[in-house]
Amino acid sequence: MNSMVVLISGRGSNMRALIDAGLPVAAVISNRADAAGLAYAASRGIATAIVSHRDYATRDAFDAALAQAIDAFHPELVALAGFMRILTDGFVQRYQGRMLNIHPSLLPAFPGLDTHGRALSTGVKLHGCTVHFVTAQLDHGPIVIQAAVPVLRHDDETRLAARVLAQEHRIYPQAARWFLEGQLVIEGGVVRVVGDYPQQLYAP
């Protein structure tokens, strides 16, 4: 199986899910030296690197340095796992079709930040998470897999976020494995899984 590089900015809980699923994570790279996820990756014998955005005057310069760090590991897949930087169009194009992101909503609903609060304030009855290919338009790339959870009567943001996060940890490794095994095909902007299909992804 080909390898992958994971980008994080903080605790890296989705990174941990990818590693714990036995996926071939070659390296974990963060834009923050204090990202807690770096210690976990190192404890598992995985290479880590820091490319601090504060060291670069422009987004283009930072992205160029980040790309250089990624390419040193020759990954087939780049996985964003709580990487809190908006990437330039040039960076996205460099990894077009081989960069995934996990987003805490059922896209195309609630792109961007504060997804759980917005879901509650809107009154939706289902919420969830989405793994998608990264494109230049934020949180709008072709969808690989989604998982839904019901919004319960007494939910607050913390309770809802915890249930969604549990589903993130389930579907992100699945999506990454499909990609690395060559099972994902994008046709007309729609992702098709070749030779396998998602299990029921509604979580009561």
Q: Mind telling me the catalytic residues?
A: 103
Alpha carbon distance 168, 53 (integer Å): 26
Q: Bridge partners of 150?
A: 126
Residue 134: burial class (beta carbons within 10 Å; 0-12, 13-18, 19+): buried
Q: What are phi and psi of 95, to 5 degrees?
A: -110, 25
Residue 15 CA: distances (Å) to CA of 87, 94, 188, 203? 19, 22, 30, 21
